[in-house]
Amino acid sequence: MLMWIGELDEGLAKRFLIGIWFILVALLAGANVWWTPEGVRGIALGGVVAALNAVGVLRDTKRIVKWRSQIVYFIGMFTRLLLAIIVIGTFVLKFPGKFSLVGIFVGVSVVPITFFLLVIQMKLVRKKNPN
């Protein structure tokens, strides 16, 4: 699916998306116990926007392989970034005091956390190439 040298586990994208939602739920559960309601709503908003962005990135990587053009990826990335800014900005401005900006940042960070954990998992279970 992704273009680089080496073998890539076909289930990586599925594990990545499931991991994002799993970590988001874990963060929400922990924040619900130890944080303010504004922080929990911020985590939920940031996490959902980040998870939907990750779905779009994975769709764009498939389009790059299909159409053999990287411009598709950059147009999709620009569009999703613009939409994420509009959505988060609209919620923060429309409902002042209802969302914590720190919570939004924590929610958006579920994607890099998941990616980091998957890289560690891939490194631990990587099969050595006999060549």
Distance CA 53, CA 108 (A): 10
Helices 101-108 and 110-125, packing angle to 10 deg: 30
The single-letter code of the amino acid at 94 is: K
What integer pLDDT is reported at residue 99 of this predicted model? 86
What integer pLDDT is reported at residue 9 of this predicted model? 58
Give Rg (Cα) of the chain.
17
Q: Which two tokens stand for residue 61?
A: 């990587």
What integer pLDDT is reported at residue 25 of this predicted model? 92
Residue among 109, 120, 125, 114 at smallest CA distance from 19: 114
Q: What is the DSSP letter of 98?
A: S
% of the chain exceeding 90 in pLDDT: 8
Q: Quick count: other Cβ atoms within 10 Å of Cβ 127?
A: 6
What integer pLDDT is reported at residue 102 of this predicted model? 87
Q: Which two tokens stand for residue 72?
A: 């598709």
108, 88 Cβ separation under 8 angstroms: no
Q: Is the predicted pLDDT of residue 8 greater than 80, yes or no? A: no
68, 8 Cβ separation under 8 angstroms: no
Distance CA 108, CA 95 (A): 19
